[in-house]
């Protein structure tokens, strides 16, 4: 079995490049909820200046602690620093920059036309904060998926309790120390803990719950939210397909391999399996995918500084078992001692095998051959709606057909995962892959109430025509007004 070579972090996880002010330990769930409810009731976070200040503080947190955050991610997931910056820190910075640039437009009231029958009057829409928000983050991108939703929640004027994942303990501990040092402790709190802590948090009264993770826990969160009629955003996952028809197969293989094997395959929108349309596409992928993997990670990915590890032993055992469920085109080795799973490509896979029914969430990529494009579409639509679906083809007709016929949270043509990097594109699932969305304006809207306001003068009562009793004259007037 391959041995995974690791380079020790230059600083201990949780250590910042420049020490920050020591803070109190992360709060208990009930205490944090009560404290933030007081701030919510006093409208502490609503002024635009306060929101801008918090966004600036979050920007400083990332800028001044970049190395420490990268070290924590390396400790938890074996992430190379370059990947951590590209896929986590830089994306949050882009979200912050976008929110700072557009905050004035987002918070501005929008005036709408009033029907003649209600004149004179004015009508407008106000974006109001929902109130107190709970954000529950997963372990696979523990910085991005905790602080990314926070950007939208702060921009919308909410108070926020952050619950990082206990499966990324170094990152969780670091963020629990940094967040109170850079953001107003009256408005933002970090609560650490495992399942019991999450259960206790879900027992509190929230104005919105934002959860990223798996479908099983997503159901638990949705049930708890329903008990209190709390609105909820669920960012789940699913088996995102990549349908390959035609094109530059060397480039296609590189793009699929990059999307699949970054973060050792532990990415919610990674292509979970490939549907190769026709023998030519399948044969070309079997030829070029191993070359792309070798170009990225070398002949022995276990010694690559650019390839991560599986988060824990349980996930390792599950993913390693998938490596046996098809003909191995490339890869196939693993090492439980270092939680290393080699980037693996499988062919001749049974569509009923667990590698094709379970979300893999790891570096195993099955290829399934289908005869025609329509067969690929039917295959995708016969299964739960994925978080993303990717089509590789240079034919615009197929792009249109794919968009029209495939139900997925997001669509990518000739590229994987990259729609997340566009702040103005909403990100979210549909059906089993989630509900609601965020990023950019969509995130601001998720954490806002779009409140209507209608204003009329009472000095002259222009509504008498609609008051009872309704004689023939009033009925005639009302018909003409309708």
Confidence (pLDDT) at 462: 79
Confidence (pLDDT) at 14: 34
The structure's pTM equals: 0.91
Rounded CA-CA distance 306/288 in Å is 20
Confidence (pLDDT) at 15: 35
Same-domain check for residues 250 and 354: yes
Is residue 149 included in any domain, yes or no?
A: yes
* Structural domain total, the chain: 2
Rounded CA-CA distance 46/425 in Å is 25
Is residue 330 included in any domain, yes or no?
A: yes
The enclosing domain of 123 has a CATH number of 3.40.605.10
Same-domain check for residues 331 and 189: no
Contact by Cβ (8 Å): 27, 146 = no
Same-domain check for residues 92 and 188: yes
Residue 271: which domain range?
A: 241-428
Is residue 474 included in any domain, yes or no?
A: no
Catalytic hit among 70, 245, 268, 416: 268
Same-domain check for residues 249 and 133: no
Confidence (pLDDT) at 413: 98
Q: What is the mean pLDDT of each run of 10 residues along the chain (482 residues)?
A: 40 36 60 94 97 98 98 96 97 97 97 91 97 97 98 98 97 97 97 96 97 95 96 95 98 98 97 98 98 97 96 96 97 97 98 96 98 98 97 98 98 96 95 95 97 93 82 80 66
Same-domain check for residues 302 and 369: yes
Confidence (pLDDT) at 477: 78
Is residue 385 included in any domain, yes or no?
A: yes
Same-domain check for residues 274 and 395: yes
268 is catalytic: yes
The enclosing domain of 366 has a CATH number of 3.40.309.10
Catalytic hit among 235, 284, 342, 359: 235
Is residue 454 included in any domain, yes or no?
A: no
Is residue 57 included in any domain, yes or no?
A: yes
């Amino acid at each position: 079995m391959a041995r995974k070579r690791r380079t020790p972090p230059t600083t201990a996880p949780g250590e910042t490049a420049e020490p920050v002010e020591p803070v109190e330990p992360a709060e208990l769930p009930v205490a944090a909820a009560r404290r933030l409810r007081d701030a919510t009731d006093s409208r502490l976070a609503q002024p635009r200046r306060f929101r801008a200040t918090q966004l600036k503080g979050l920007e400083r947190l990332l800028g001044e602690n970049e190395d420490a955050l990268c070290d924590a991610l390396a400790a938890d997931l074996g992430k190379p620093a370059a990947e951590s910056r590209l896929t986590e820190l830089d994306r949050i910075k882009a979200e912050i920059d976008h929110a700072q640039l557009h905050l004035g437009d987002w918070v501005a009231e929008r005036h709408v036309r009033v029907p003649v029958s209600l004149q004179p009057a004015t009508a407008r829409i106000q974006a109001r904060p929902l109130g107190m928000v709970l954000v529950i983050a997963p372990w696979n991108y523990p910085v991005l998926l905790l602080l990314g939703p926070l950007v939208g929640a702060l921009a919308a004027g909410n108070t926020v309790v952050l619950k990082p994942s206990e499966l990324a303990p170094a990152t969780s501990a670091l963020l629990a120390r940094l967040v109170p040092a850079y953001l107003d402790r009256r408005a933002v709190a970090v609560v650490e803990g495992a399942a019991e802590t999450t259960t206790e948090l879900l027992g509190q009264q929230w104005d919105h719950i934002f959860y990223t993770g798996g479908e099983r826990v997503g159901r638990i969160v949705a049930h708890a939210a329903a008990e209190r009629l709390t609105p909820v955003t669920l960012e789940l996952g699913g088996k995102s397909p990549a349908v390959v028809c035609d094109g530059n197969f060397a480039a296609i293989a590189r793009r699929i391999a990059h999307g699949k094997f970054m973060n050792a395959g532990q990415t919610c929108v990674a292509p979970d399996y490939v549907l190769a349309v026709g023998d030519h596409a399948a044969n070309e992928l079997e030829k070029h995918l191993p070359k792309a993997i070798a170009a990225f990670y070398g002949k022995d990915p276990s010694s690559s500084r650019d390839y991560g590890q599986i988060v824990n032993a349980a996930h390792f055992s599950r993913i390693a078992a998938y490596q046996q469920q098809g003909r191995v085109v490339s890869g196939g080795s693993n090492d439980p001692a270092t939680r290393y799973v080699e980037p693996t490509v499988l062919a001749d896979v049974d569509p009923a095998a667990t590698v094709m029914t379970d979300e893999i969430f790891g570096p195993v990529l099955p290829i399934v051959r289908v005869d025609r494009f329509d067969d690929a579409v039917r295959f995708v639509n016969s299964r739960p709606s994925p978080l993303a679906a990717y089509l590789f083809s240079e034919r615009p007709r197929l792009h249109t057909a794919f968009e029209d016929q495939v139900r997925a949270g997001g669509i990518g043509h000739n590229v994987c995962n990259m729609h997340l990097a566009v702040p103005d594109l909403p990100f979210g699932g549909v059906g089993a892959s989630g509900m609601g969305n965020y990023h950019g304006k969509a995130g601001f809207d998720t954490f806002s109430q779009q409140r209507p306001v209608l204003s009329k003068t009472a000095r002259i009562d222009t509504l008498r025509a609609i008051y009872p009793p309704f004689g023939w004259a009033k009925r005639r007037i009302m018909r003409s007004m309708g």
